[in-house]
Structure 1
Amino acid sequence: MKTSFTTVDEYIASCPEETRGRLQEIRAAIRAAVPDAKEKISYQIACFELNGKNLVHFAGWKNHVSIYPTPEGTAAFNKAIAKYAGGKGTTKFLLDEPLPLKLIGQIVKFRVADNLKNEKLKKGKIK
């Protein structure tokens, strides 16, 4: 597997064949949730960013696909993602289960709001 990617298309093409379609579904769900988000490669996996801030990474593996919405992104949805494997900032979706595309969209929208809140905190606009 190639280890240096410049586009999300290139990354997805390098993933195991059984994960490519699922990665495209995740990609479409993220685009639908945040149409202005831009794709990029970060940490050598697929990522969407908005206003220069990462929203969510996603990746394909042999037996699952994962999203990485940061620890805050998973903590806010603990109950909804409890049935999926994962860890701090990671949610794994097995290949033989339907993808929760609506939930993925909700998580990404939460990340947009969280990034905005954090930016306002930095600028001292929220106390």
Structure 2
Amino acid sequence: MATSEVDSYLSQFSGPGLLAAQDLRARLTALIPDGEEGMSYGMPVIKVAGKAVAGWAINKAHLGYYPHSSLVLDKVQGLEGYKKSKGALQIPFDKPLADQVLVELVAIRRAMLSV
């Protein structure tokens, strides 16, 4: 898996979706400096020690954030106003997650994986 795969994925998009994705990607790579970027299930993912910590995808009107566990989202504070399912969070292009929320999402998933 390589960063070039994520770059290739991003090259398919433009406009607000691309800008929001680039911002989320930069924030996640800063939060997970020991992570390895790649693709999983057709979407960008950051793995640590081969285990998925955070995935995301560009959709029509939002970014999908995928913590790769159905247990993560219910443990995070500050998701009011965002649509979510058991294993996915919808982030409107014009409403990025607060830094603390993103930190919490990553920390909870890492703790679950012990990485």
Q: Which range, TM-score by smaller chain?
A: 0.7 to 0.9
Contact 2:6–2:37, Cα closer than 8 Å, also in 1 = yes
**In structure 1, what is the equivalent of residue 51 of structure 2?**
53
Cα deviation, 1:56-104, whole Å, max 9, x if unaligned, reads 1101111111100121221211x42132012011111112324324311
**2 CA distance for matches of 1:111 and 1:17?**
30
Aligned 1:78-117 pairs, distance under 5 A = 79-116=77-114
Q: How many residues align?
A: 111
Secondary structure of 2:11's aligned partner: helix
Which 10-residue stretch deviates more, 66-75 or 47-56?
66-75
- 2:71 is aligned with 1:72: yes
Aligned mate of 2:6, from 2, 5, 8:
8
Larger Rg belongs to: 1
Cα deviation, 1:11-30, whole Å, max 9, x if unaligned, reads 11213532111111111111
Which 10-residue stretch deviates more, 108-117 or 57-66?
108-117
Secondary structure of 2:55's aligned partner: strand
Contact 1:39–1:46, Cα closer than 8 Å, also in 2 = yes
Contact 2:62–2:92, Cα closer than 8 Å, also in 1 = yes
**Shift in alpha-carbon separation, 1:30–1:48, aligned structure 2, 3 A:** same
> % of aligned pairs identical?
25
Aligned mate of 1:62, from 42, 60, 63:
60
RMSD: 1.8
**1 CA distance for matches of 2:57 and 2:37?**
13
